[in-house]
Every structure is written in C-alpha cells, then in structure tokens.
Amino acid sequence: MLSFPAVDIRDDVRPVDLAAVLATLNRPTILKGLVADWPAVERAKRSQADLIDYLKACDAGKPAETFRQAPGGDGKYFYGDDPQGFNFQRAPIPLRLTLDRLNGLRGQAGAEHIYIQSAPLKDYMPRFKAENPLTVTGAEPRIWIGNRSVTQTHYDVNYNLVCMVAGRKRFVLFPPDQTKNLYMGPLEATISGVPTSMASLEKPDFDAHPLFREALKAATVAELEPGDALYVPYMWWHHVSSTDDLNVQVNYWWNTVGAEMGAPMLVLMLAMLGLRDLPPDQNAAWKAMFDHLVFGGETGAHLMPEVRGILGDMEPDQRLMIRRAIGRNLQD
C-alpha cells in the first residue's frame, strides 16, 4: 500500500463550533471525535448487530439504490472491460433486506460486496436524522452503508463533510490542480454522477498513466474511525477504501452559491463543444478571453453601471434570465 503524508487533524472542534471552523478551512482536515456522541456511533461501538438493529428501527420503508458486486470481486466499484459498462449491478432494494444481508455476510471471505450510496436521511431514515443531529448550513445528511469496498478516485462539485459512524475508511486526496495528472474517465458514462480517474491507486500502471506519478506526489491521506469527521474541500479528488464488514457514514454536501449560478459542468462541456477544437489561433484568442472575463474577474468597472450588463455584478434574477435566453438559442 502506498503511503502519503497525513491531512491536518483537529481535536478541539465541537458541533456548536462547526460552522465557524468550516469557514476557515481550505484543505482536507479530520475533525477528531466530532460526532462521537451520536447514538448511532455508540451502537456501532457495542457491536455490528446492535447497530444494524438500530438502523432497521430507523428504516422508513423506502427501497434504496444499492450497488452489488458478485462474490469473488475486489470490491472496487468501477467500469467493466468496456468503459461503457460496469463491474457491478444496481437496483432499488429494501433497506431491511440489505442490512440483514450485510449482517449475514460478516466474516465471510470472498463474499459479495454491497453498498448503499447517498440515501437522504429525511427520506430513508428520518428517525436517524432526528436522533443524530449535526447542523451544516445548506446541507441535508445522507447515509452510506456497505461492507468492504473501494470507491475509485473522483471529485464532488460541492463541499463535503464525512462523518464516520461504523467501520474505518481511508481517504487518499488530491487537490484540483492535479486533474491533469489523474486521467479523467468518460464524462457521459460515469459510475455515480461525476467523472472518475482511470489511474489505479492499488496497482498503478505508469506506462499507461505516466503523469500519475506527479499526482501521487501531491496526495495526502486521512484515516477515519467511528466518531471522526473529514472535511473535503470543493472538487478535491478522493479515493475511498472501506475496510470492515460493516461501514456506515453520514455525509453533508453543500455549496456556497445559489442555484441561479447553474451547473458548472454543463458550462464546461459547452465550452469543450464550442472552443476546444477550434484552429490554434482561434483557440488561443478565446483562451485569452476566458482568462480575462471568466477567471480574471473582469467586472466592467470602466463602463457606466447602466450599460455593464453581464460584464457587471448581476442579481440572481438577471442570471436566470440570461441562462434561459442562452438555453433557447441552444435548441436545435
């Protein structure tokens, strides 16, 4: 197993201080013991069976999308031999059935791998949400439940707070500036909604992915135990290994900008369609324009306020109006 420097660790953060602390963080940071007082964490520390009984008691009866990989697999949810297919199946399954199955697989070598991803607690386990509270402004908690697994290196277009309830997880993290060295997979056929890296952390192939060596130099690692939380900054890549027979986490995704800003990934894809394959001289000209107007922060301060339009500071309703006009013009 590759080794990396550890992320920062804070052991002085209480839930009441969380908002103020999160506002100061700009790198991955473990908040040691942040949710150690949750009843679910206490149940997990007693036994796996005790926690499963508790989770079943919290179940609202709604089937959850569940990933399943056949016995003998490596537990890594990834593409199949063809990047248009996957090495697992997914289907909505009643939570109680999945929890009983996980309990029955305990201690079995080579057992099937099972993973419930990102189920909103308000819909699937409202009692759990009420009894294990944590306030993260703008975020609804989601639960993740499974056995031994590997989630391939990916990023989220959100800020993320991961709270460990049961089991242990290892996060290997890469800053956004390493995107060029991580060999991004298909944008249209993703495993769970966001692009993943095609470079293997378990068995690196530096002939196929030579730039991955550079990414590894920038990596850091976070080892989480029950009760710990991990802050993952916006769009930081992370590779996640779950190492126990039962792993349960609750996470909070949030953003600091309004919905009127739209979906940056769609903007990126539109720019790729319209600009990437232009002749070199045109491409360079548009790069200069983007550097100036998009990433340079130009606000049209040299113009009178009433004529700045999109060059100036915009209200949310102005943004929505312009986005809708662009959408109408993009229709075939």
Domain limits, the chain: 8-254, 259-330
The pLDDT, as a whole number, for residue 200 is 96
Q: What is the pTM of this model?
A: 0.93
The type of residue at 140 is E
Question: Do 250 and 34 touch, CB atoms closer than 8 A?
Answer: no
All residues at 6 or more sequence positions from 146 whose CB lies less than 8 Å from its CB, including other chains: 67, 102, 113, 114, 115, 116, 242, 246, 247
CATH match of 8-254 with 2.60.120.10 = yes
Q: Which of 76-90, 153-167, 195-209, 220-234 has the lowest mean pLDDT?
A: 76-90
* Residue scoring higher pLDDT (233 or 243): 233
pLDDT at residue 308 tops 70 = yes
**Reported confidence tier of residue 166, pLDDT bands at 50, 70, 90:** very high
Task: Assess contact for 262 and 195: CB atoms under 8 A.
Answer: no
Locate all alpha helices (DSSP H) within the chain, ordered by sequence: 18-22, 39-46, 48-58, 95-104, 121-124, 126-131, 212-217, 264-271, 280-293, 316-330
Higher-confidence position of 188 and 67: 67
DSSP code per residue over 272-318 = IIIIITS-HHHHHHHHHHHHHHTSS----TTS-GGG-GGGS---HHH
- Say whether pLDDT at 43 is over 80: yes
> Rounded to whole angstroms, how far apart are CA atoms 197 and 176?
12
CB neighbours of residue 316 within 10 Å: 11
pLDDT, residue 1, reads 76
